[in-house]
Structure formats: C-alpha cells, structure tokens
Amino acid sequence: MMHYSNWLIDVKNRASLRNECKTPPNTDWINRGNIADMQNNNPHLNEKASELTAATHLLKKGYKIIKKIGEGTFSEVLKTQSLKDGKFYACKTMKQTINSLEQANNLREVQAMKRLSPHANIVQLHELIFDKETGRVSLICELMEMNIYEFIQGRKTPLPEHTVKHYMYQLCKSLEHMHSCGIFHRDVKPENILIKQNILKLGDFGSCRSVYSKPPHTEYISTRWYRAPECLLTDGYYSLKMDIWSAGCVFFEIMSLNPLFPGTNELDQIAKIHDILGTPDQSLLQKFKQSRAMHFNFPPKKGTGISRLIPKCPAPALSLLYQMLAYDSDERITAETALRHTYFREIRMAEKKAESLHRVSGTMDVIGSCVTQNSVDHICRPARVGKQLRGRHTRQTPLMSHNMKHVADTLIRRNIPHYPAELPKLNVVVPGPQISFPVSTMPTFTVTHRGTLPTITSKKCQSQLAKPRDDSHHAAFKTYYMPPLDRKHGGC
C-alpha cells in the first residue's frame, strides 16, 4: 500500500498537468479562460474581429449588442436588445463551432434548458441562434441583474438572515427540479447563481449530466472550491449529491461572505476540507479506495468545525449546513428533503397561505363572474320568457352545478406544472361558449335546455290551440308552480 504522502504527490502532479490546458484558479469569473487569448499572437486584434463577427451575426437575427457582461473558457456573455420588442436579453455565444442546426439543438446545455423550462428558479432559454457561415451558436436567455459572487463581493456586513434563507430556499428548489428531471448540474457555484431583485435562478448548464449515466464521469469538473470529496478522491465515481455539497459551500459563503474551502490545488483542497470537517473514518475511505487505482491513507485529524467560523449562525441553519456538507454522499441530504427542513419552515407556511388565498380568490372571481352573467341574462330576457321562468329556480340547478364543475376543473388545470414534454391528449368535454348581451339592447333570446325537462308555460299565456300537458309532468312540477299576478292593465 502506497503511503498517503506519495499519493498526494501524484495528485499534485496530475493537477499541474491539467492546469496547463485548463483555466488557472481565479475568483473572478470574468477573467477565467483567458489562456486561449494569451496564446494568440495578436489577442487584441483577434478579440475585435470576434466581437465584430458576433455583432454582425446577431444583428441579422434582430439583436443589438449593448455590452459584454463576461467571458469564460468556452463562451462569452453579451447583453443584447431585441429590435422587435425592445427587451433586453443575455446572449451566451459558444466559442466552439458547430456544423449544423441539428447538432446545435443536441448540445447538452440546450437539451437541459429545454427540459427544465419553465421553472421559476431556472434561467429560461428564449431563442437559439445558429450561424451557418461561422458555425457559431448563441443562446438568447433572460437577463438577470447579477450573480451571487458579484452580490457579496466587497460587502462588509453580513446579509440579513431572511435574505440568506430566501435565496437558499430558491436554490434548493432549482436543484430539486433538476434532479427530479434526471439532470445534475456539476458546477454549482456563486458565479452560476443569478439573482434579480428577490428572485434567484440557476444558470450555465454546460457541465450538466444525466443522473442515469453510468460512472466514471469526468474527474476535472466543477470549480475546485465547490468540489465534493467524492470528486476529489475517486476516479469519477460521483452522482447528483455533488450538487448538494456545492450548494452547502455556497450556503456558507452567502452567510460569512468568505469561501469555505479555498484550496489552491487539489492537494490543498483536500487538506482544507479535513481541517474543518476532520478526516473520514476507515469504512468511508474503503468506499473511496474501491474506485481509485491508487490507495491512500489520511493521518487522523479532528476538524475545527463549521460553527466556529460562523458563531452567530442560527441552529436550524447550522443543522442544514452540516447535512449538506456530509462527507459521505450517501448520508448527504437530498434537495427534496432540504426543502422540508426546519430552517425553511416559515417560507413553506407563507407559500401554503399564499396558495390558499390564491385558490379562494380565484374561485370567488369565477363564481362572481358567473353570477354577474346570470344577472345580465335575466335582465335581457323578454317579458314572456321571464314570466315562464319566474319562480322556477330549480330548473337552473343543473346549469349551476355544471358551471361549478367547470370552475373546479379550471382551477385544477391551473395548478398542473407545465413541462415541455408532450403529454397524452385528454378527452375533455368543453362546454359551449356563453354569449353575453349588452343591457342596452334587447335581442331575441332563445332558451335551450340540456336536460330532458319539457318547456313549462304559464296558464294565462297558454294558447287555446295548444295540446293539453301530460298529467304526469304537470304533477311533477305542481309544487313549484306560481300563478301569474293579476295586473290592473292586463297583458301577458
């Protein structure tokens, strides 16, 4: 068995080789991925030519470039304005060239955004633009104000507790939606978490992967500071629980305004995790060793703990944080369970109360509109029809029950989430349109009945040539009959 120090030397050597072709560690996401430009003989000229090409390409599609928001290793983000509606969007242009539109639609990021939308906490894809001449792909997405890193950068005082709680609840909702749709992000970090006022949305799905894909996965994935232990200690044997670890690191950073494990390389990253959480026991190490060719051992170390770093952290928040940062991924909390944690109890109660009020108000609005419509219809009926229906409200009962059933169906359909997947068609009987007439006009009104009840006419207005009614029908409605009122001037 090789000693722990030899294994760490090997890890460090492999990390050095990777860094030669990968982005150097940098906390500023805008400056990441500039090695390709530095290797070019004339980077400034190449950058200007690239911007000119992108501007011409987007202008043809009806978008005007406002400014450059940021740049990464594989893409650059521009703020654009639509020439059609004047709205602002974020345009993410890939540096990788694509051969066809079909290949562009099959990109993992595009497929993920289409599957996950629409969701309140997922950045929505507005349009995909493909340029055949240059092979460039641009994703037109909704524009947010800033990311979490920009939000807390340079801040001197901690954020209010309710703000942290609100943002973390939305982040857990986005992860729960992703994981339930069979996708895990693999690069959750403050730079990829966007906010706009009080709304938080998860973006940048270029590294996402299906939860059903079999390991080993790519080892060098996610930003180092937010990389889970199973990503560091195995040869790519990790799953969706790595997103929860990354979210826990973000949770700590939002509360303390400082990163939790700021390792300078993979060797230092493991050391910083052990300094705080302590070294794992032998049973857990055995699980890691089964998925790595090289064996390793860690000297026993008791961690300092997270509570010492954030002494003013509330107990429920600290409890959730420890569950999200469980060293063993099998013991790590899921996004769905995190949403039911005591820490989010107030938000859940407020959501339920808002949903109840919305449901009640929606029902009352529909019922009120039905009552108003019936009142208008009653006013617009001619005098003869009004006399025929006067006092026989039982005839309207089937219609009212049908209307209430339609209202309930409408409210149920409102609460069903919309997914881009094609759903089977339902055989729904849609009631005929209700035609409303203005009060000022008196059009000819025709009464149609869905049931089998015969038309009942008033005795006084019945024609002498009409056939006598059946005694059985007459007996059935005898209880509800009201004789017409005698008027001084007569008339029907």
Pairing relation of β-strands 209-210 and 183-184?
A: antiparallel
Residues with Cβ within 8 Å of residue 341, at least 6 apart in sequence: 316, 319, 320, 323, 333
Residue position matching structure tokens 């006092």: 391
Q: Is 33 left (phi over 0), alpha (psi -120 to 50) or beta?
A: left
Is there a catalytic annotation at residue 470?
no
Asked whether the CA dihedral 350, 352, 356, 361 is positive or negative, the reply is: positive
Element (H, E) at 402: helix 397-415
Asked whether the CA dihedral 220, 225, 231, 234 is positive or negative, the reply is: positive
Question: What size, in residues, is the chain?
Answer: 492
Residue 173 is assigned to a ligand binding site: no
Using the CB atoms, write b or e for 96-128: b if 16+ within 10 Å.
eebeeeeebeebebbebbebbbebebbbebbeb
Residue type, 442: M
How far is Cα 482 from Cα 457, in angstroms, rounded to an integer? Answer: 11
DSSP one-letter string for 472-483: HHHHHTSTT--P
Which candidate in 187, 268, 330, 377 is catalytic?
Answer: 187
DSSP one-letter string for 223-242: -GGG--HHHHHSSS---THH
Q: Is 243 left (phi over 0), alpha (psi -120 to 50) or beta?
A: alpha
Asked whether the CA dihedral 436, 442, 446, 449 is positive or negative, the reply is: positive
Asked if 23 contacts 317 with a C-beta cutoff of 8 angstroms, the reply is: no
Using the CB atoms, write b or e for 311-322: b if 16+ within 10 Å.
eebeeebbebbe
How far is Cα 113 from Cα 411, in angstroms, rounded to an integer? Answer: 28
Residues with Cβ within 8 Å of residue 401, at least 6 apart in sequence: none
How far is Cα 182 from Cα 261, in angstroms, rounded to an integer? Answer: 28
3-class secondary structure, 278: coil
Asked whether the CA dihedral 204, 210, 215, 216 is positive or negative, the reply is: negative
Angstrom distances, CA of residue 101 to CA of 115, 130, 275, 342: 18, 6, 49, 47
Residues with Cβ within 8 Å of residue 416, at least 6 apart in sequence: none
Q: Which residues are documented as binding site for ATP? A: 92
> Catalytic amino acids?
187
